[in-house]
């Protein structure tokens, strides 16, 4: 409930905007891509990330089956693909997406060529929390566009990173960078 007593607002939306990612799962004819906002870094050593996926999603089934997934970082020019990946289910949606899947270096799950970065992950743990499963993946390889990440740091002025601000709205990170003192 908001300060005016409106119960329509979902509490988790108060955490937005959040970065949006594409989660690739499966291999071959089973390959699927899902949009996800609920992705986080868990540890630097070992390199661990987490992603929350509803058991209702086809991606959930594939992550369980293969024990691997890719976290791909899209740019704003991929908004249509992100929207399709987030609103449609199953591998048939790939026919409507303008992405190129390519072989990953360390896992069977492919990565997305057009993305600014791809993190190849092997599942090391998972747990059910309410209506989502939290998959913990060890990052076994990462590839990225050197222009988007010069010296391994995101260049928000030149790369067109995106974030999901809610429902059908997305935002860019194109404003002035402010350095903390």
d(CA 84, CA 99): 11
Residue 3 pLDDT > 70, yes or no?
no
Question: Which of the four pLDDT bands, split at 50, 70 and 90, describes residue 10?
Answer: confident
Q: What is the pLDDT of residues 78-137, one digit of tens each?
A: 999 999 999 999 889 999 999 999 999 999 999 999 999 999 999 999 999 999 999 999
Contacts of the segment 143-151: beta carbons below 8 A, 24+ positions apart: 143/105, 143/111, 143/117, 143/118, 144/73, 144/116, 144/117, 144/118, 145/116, 145/117, 148/75, 148/116, 148/117, 149/116, 149/117
Sorted by where each begins, the domain ranges of the chain are 17-172
Average pLDDT over every residue of 14-19:
90
Which of 3.90.1150.10, 2.30.110.10, 1.10.3720.10, 3.30.70.1450 is the CATH number of 17-172? Answer: 2.30.110.10
pLDDT of residue 4: 57
pLDDT of residue 2: 52
């Amino acid at each position: 409930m908001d300060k005016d007593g409106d119960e329509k607002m979902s509490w988790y939306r108060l955490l937005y905007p959040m970065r949006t990612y594409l989660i690739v799962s499966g291999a071959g004819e089973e390959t699927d891509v899902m949009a996800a906002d609920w992705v986080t870094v868990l540890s630097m050593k070992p390199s661990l990330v987490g992603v929350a996926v509803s058991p209702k999603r086809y991606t959930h089934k594939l992550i369980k089956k293969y024990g691997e997934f890719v976290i791909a970082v899209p740019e704003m020019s991929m908004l249509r693909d992100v929207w399709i990946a987030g609103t449609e289910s199953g591998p048939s949606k790939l026919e409507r997406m303008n992405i190129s899947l390519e072989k990953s270096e360390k896992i069977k799950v492919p990565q997305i060529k057009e993305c600014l970065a791809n993190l190849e992950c092997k599942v090391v743990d998972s747990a059910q929390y309410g209506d989502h499963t939290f998959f913990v993946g060890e990052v076994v390889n990462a590839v990225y566009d050197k222009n988007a990440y010069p010296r391994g740091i995101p260049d928000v002025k030149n790369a067109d990173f995106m974030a999901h601000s809610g429902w059908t709205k997305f935002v860019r990170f194109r404003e002035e960078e402010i350095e903390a003192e």
